[in-house]
Amino acid sequence: MRAAAIDVGSNTVRLLVADARGPEPWRVVAQDQMVTRLGEGLAAAGALGEAPMARTLAVVLDYAGRARALGASAVRIVATSAVREAGNGRVFAAAVERAAGVPVEILSGEEEARLALRGVRRSLPDLGGALVTFDIGGGSTEYVLAHGPDVAQAHSLFMGCVSFAERHFPHGRLK
């Protein structure tokens, strides 16, 4: 099955189109990423700005179209920290869904952490025993403690590189 994933992050939108057949390794058909800085100004305003939303929507629509043109029978769009934290995040997700014709799933921080762990496990299947993974993004950082296949703890912190810099280093310097 050819499937596509579009990850709408606080800083970057990512596309992955792959052929997935059970436990076999995926065959990547296309991948891309574009910095749209959706979370720009979120720390100060508490809401997504018009320009970042417009930039991000344009990239998501391009990626959804590319996925369909490449024959993806399933397209999944997920949104993370910026959309999760913004006062107008759900409104933005609904607008993306209407325009792209694909449901947008706003991931909880814990689900984002679990998916990061799944990606690590899929990419590095020989890791055994206890494992801690960190996913440092633009708006948040997720960490997971796992014992074998079992998740012991999964947490998300509102401390990504963009959100942290905007809160503590306005204009590129310490407050």
Is 90 exceeded by the pLDDT of residue 158?
Answer: no
Q: Which two tokens stand for residue 23?
A: 């436990």
CA–CA separation, 42 and 48 (whole Å):
6
- Output the CA angle 143-148-150, nearest 5 degrees: 65
- pLDDT of 175: 54
Across 61-96, b (16+ Cβ under 10 Å) vs e yields: bbbbebbbeeebeebbbbbbbbbbbbebbeebbeeb
pLDDT single digits (tens) 5-50: 999 999 999 999 999 887 777 899 999 999 999 999 998 899 999 9
How far out from the chain centre does Cα 4 lie?
Answer: 13
Write the secondary structure of 79-97 as one string of H (helix), E (strand) and C (coil): ECHHHHHCCCHHHHHHHHH
CA–CA separation, 93 and 23 (whole Å):
32
Q: In sequence order, what are the beta bridge partners of 78?
A: 7, 105
The residue with greater pLDDT, 74 or 149, is 74
What mean pLDDT is reported for the chain?
89
Say what the pTM is. 0.87
CA–CA separation, 10 and 81 (whole Å):
6
The residue with greater pLDDT, 43 or 149, is 43
